[in-house]
Structure 1
Amino acid sequence: MAKASSRHRDNGPHGNPPPPRLPRLPREPTLVDALLPIVVLIVLLATTIVLFGIDATNGPLQVALLLSAAFASLMAFKNGFTVAGVADAAVGGVTSAIGAIFILLAVGALIGTWNMAGTIPTVVDVGIRLLSPAWFYLATAVICALVGAVTGSSWTTAGTLGVAFVGMARVMGLSDATAAGAVICGAYFGDKMTPLSETTILVPKLVGGGLTVGQHVRNMFWTAGPALGISLVIFMFLGFAAEPEGAISTDVAREALGNAFNISALNILPLVALVVFAALRYPPFLSILGSSLLAGLMAPFTQWEAVKAFVDNPDYGPVSTSLHAIYASMATGFVSHSGVPQVDELFSRGGMASLLTTIWLVLGALSFAAVMEHAGFLQRLLAPIVSRTRRRGSLIAAVNGSGIGLNVIAGDQYVADVLPARMFRAEFSKRGLAPQVLSRAVEDSGTVTSVLVPWNTCGAYISGVLGVSTAAYLPYCFFNILSPLLDVLYGYLGFKVPKAEQPWHEDAVPATATATQQPAPGSIPTEKEAP
């Protein structure tokens, strides 16, 4: 009887089994939920920077990001998100960076083989002959702007010519931090002013409203053009005021380079190949890796003495020495044995292994960003900003602030582009602002300022390939700092802020509509609205 009674209690009415228990749905995060992971991130990052200084990016920052991601995961579990869901989100965030990781590895290989083949030494030789210290920074920014527009990639420009220009600055006794800033200013301007750039294509699609890439680029020029112009003027004055320290004379520098490498126009072939590959729109990874392999194959024919000294194995024949050199330079980088300290220090760089710490930084940042977005924490932080902006200037300022903030919090420029573009588009349409106003604000903040954050994918990459810390080059990234400031200024002045004739987004409600027709304040676009 007792057993029968027990079975009866386990069943529902009339002895039927109870209905299956439905899974608990995740709760909407509170503002405190969203803020706590940010507070933990800030505390951990600040601690690592105080304790380790510029060496923080060699591991401590990565640990801080992963610990912050773990804390954000615990907050997501508290709100009802499953372990599997959070894990899938983190994996998805890392997966989104696979393309960037492959490019990082290819650039590491390229720097190694370009040094071994004499490509970078030849560019440095030409540069120190043609460029005087007074005009060096200005010329660097202009040349990188032109190459960035041709290749459509700030990463490719910085990883190739940027490395050479920073090397020239060191030979000429100039500031490598200022040179890095000039490289970044030019490369990012060129990237934004071409329809070949990934973000220049992506952002108009995210904003919608029938916005074309051409309209987007033309409207963006009104901030990018003056920002670069002011930057060039500043670089000109910095060049005139520069006092080279520890520089060796041009003749001595060229003689040292000539003793270490066979300087020849043929050495420029890998650079020409890279530009051709980019113009033909080959995938960046294949373009960079192809140019790297070409340089590696050329090196035994053009730089045999340097290759033989690099391998330093008398038991190897020519073929074994060549193959060893190609593999080693691509994997761990080229090491110069010229006997001239300045030359050996400058050109002993590169290799895929040299960027593994940068890749670790990227993975940590994207894991944190993915969990924050999956749990709705980033949207919760942005929603009050969207709903409380009342004027045109404050609305544009809110987009720029959101883009910069997401670059710091999420550590990835694509998160900083996607979220503001999606969350602000209905509000811009409702206020009668043309879609290119929003797209320019997104690019001027989300894309352009990403390189200023050490743990951001862009900041980690640029710092890694140029060999200059983010904190060192940040004060000289005038273009990247001025772009969002000019965009906000234009918003308050109403300068070059075109109007839309009618609402262009499906969730937008004209300002003349009744209060009952208004969308809920801070409403977040649903997934089906995403492009």
Structure 2
Amino acid sequence: MNEEKEAGRKITPPTLTDALIPIISLIVLLAGAIYLYGDDATSGPTQVALMLSTMIAALVGLKNGHSLEDMGHAAVEGVSTAMGAIFILLAVGALVGTWMMSGAIATLVHWGVQFLNPNWYYVATVIICAILALSIGSSWTVVGTLGVGLIGIAEALGVSPEITAGAVISGAYFGDKMSPLSETTNLAAAVAGTKLYTHIRGMMWTAVPSILISLVIFGFIGLRQVPQVPLDLTEVLRIMESVYNTGLLTMIPLLVVLIMSLKKVPAYSSIMAGALTGGLMAVI
């Protein structure tokens, strides 16, 4: 075993067992918290599990010769690396809120719904969710807003809501991974020490073939199914128009974000500009 001496201490490289102990401990503790507390686990027990697993990792570090001070500095560096993603996550919340108030998201949904066809419903769902996730950089937001609506429309059309849910997730996660506004994409690039757009280009080698295969499968399933009810989205569109502002002007915030992204402006600045523009459009 290679050993080196630093500041009078022997620093021993971690073994595979050392590396697995904190991970296995975390899995066991999280599983126990969920088993004991169910849905209430996120209200405290999971945080306790995370803290306990951190303490176990610290004990492993002490065993290998690291001091608490060194591990504290390493923890600060780790958090510093993630700060960019944290700020982006906060900015995305503002972006989604102002875009919903301004009608930008509603307009995207409105346009997408007009092109829906039962035979191509799953394919259209993937594409619509991918475009929206690419625009805002948040797969969870797409799934929780547009995704829920598309599943409701699927039930109204007589197509499978379960398969629709799969299409929603496929499109949302693809758009999220390819979006320069995504906090996870930015975090992965920061941790890997590479440029954001270099990271995105690297992911395209696996993400693009995956989404193409998904589109083929969803298209095949859609062509073989027979919808149980006739396609009539007139009422859905009417309700959307009565509740939200829809129109070309509501796309200005999206245009701002796209232009800034193409200019390779930092993601946080692009998102905040889009959020401020969306807020201005909502007020107007």
Judged with a 3 Å threshold, the aligned counterparts in structure 2 of structure 1 residues 238 and 47 are, in CA distance, closer, same or farther, namely: farther
Aligned to 1:97: 82
Judged with a 3 Å threshold, the aligned counterparts in structure 2 of structure 1 residues 147 and 171 are, in CA distance, closer, same or farther, namely: closer
Q: Residues 42-441 of structure 1 correspond to what in structure 2 (within 5 A)?
A: 42-53=27-38, 56-57=41-42, 59-142=44-127, 156=137, 158=139, 165-172=146-153, 173=155, 174-175=161-162, 177-184=165-172, 186-187=174-175, 190=178, 221=205, 223-240=206-223, 241=225, 250-301=233-284
SS in 2 for 1:25: strand
**Shift, 1:298, TM fit:** 1.3
What are the ranges of 5 or more consecutive residues in structure 2 without an aligned counterpart? 1-6, 156-160
**Shift, 1:161, TM fit:** 6.3
State the Cα deviation string for residues 268-293 of structure 1 (Å, max 9, x = none): 21112111111111111111111111
**Shift, 1:229, TM fit:** 2.7
Q: Residues 376-525 of structure 1 correspond to what in structure 2 (within 5 A)?
A: none
Percent of residue pairs identical = 38
CA distance in 1 between partners of 2:237 and 2:166 (Å):
23
For residue 11 of structure 2, what is the amino acid of its counterpart?
P
CA distance in 2 between partners of 1:90 and 1:79 (Å):
17
**Shift, 1:131, TM fit:** 1.8
Contact 2:34 2:41 in 1 (8 A): yes
**Shift, 1:252, TM fit:** 2.0
Judged with a 3 Å threshold, the aligned counterparts in structure 2 of structure 1 residues 273 and 177 are, in CA distance, closer, same or farther, namely: same
For residue 124 of structure 2, what is the amino acid of its counterpart?
A
For residue 121 of structure 1, what is the amino acid of its counterpart?
A
CA distance in 2 between partners of 1:97 and 1:107 (Å):
15
Contact 1:166 1:179 in 2 (8 A): no
Contact 2:125 2:150 in 1 (8 A): no
For residue 254 of structure 1, what is the amino acid of its counterpart?
L
Q: Structure 2-normalised TM-score?
A: 0.74
For residue 102 of structure 1, what is the amino acid of its counterpart?
F
Contact 2:170 2:211 in 1 (8 A): no
State the Cα deviation string for residues 389-414 of structure 1 (Å, max 9, x = none): xxxxxxxxxxxxxxxxxxxxxxxxxx
**Shift, 1:72, TM fit:** 0.6
SS in 1 for 2:11: coil
Aligned to 2:24: 39
Judged with a 3 Å threshold, the aligned counterparts in structure 2 of structure 1 residues 68 and 234 are, in CA distance, closer, same or farther, namely: same
**Shift, 1:96, TM fit:** 0.8
State the Cα deviation string for residues 87-139 of structure 1 (Å, max 9, x = none): 11111111110000011001111111111111112222222112224323323
Contact 1:138 1:182 in 2 (8 A): no
State the Cα deviation string for residues 335-392 of structure 1 (Å, max 9, x = none): xxxxxxxxxxxxxxxxxxxxxxxxxxxxxxxxxxxxxxxxxxxxxxxxxxxxxxxxxx
Q: Rg bigger for which structure? A: 1
For residue 25 of structure 1, what is the amino acid of its counterpart?
K
Contact 1:125 1:254 in 2 (8 A): yes
SS in 1 for 2:246: coil
Contact 1:117 1:295 in 2 (8 A): yes
**Shift, 1:260, TM fit:** 1.6
CA distance in 2 between partners of 1:115 and 1:220 (Å):
29
Judged with a 3 Å threshold, the aligned counterparts in structure 2 of structure 1 residues 167 and 160 are, in CA distance, closer, same or farther, namely: same
SS in 2 for 1:97: helix
**Cα-Cα RMSD:** 3.8
State the Cα deviation string for residues 24-81 of structure 1 (Å, max 9, x = none): 2233334433332222112012223334556655654343222211211122123321
CA distance in 2 between partners of 1:67 and 1:104 (Å):
26
CA distance in 2 between partners of 1:200 and 1:272 (Å):
25
Q: Structure 1-normalised TM-score?
A: 0.42
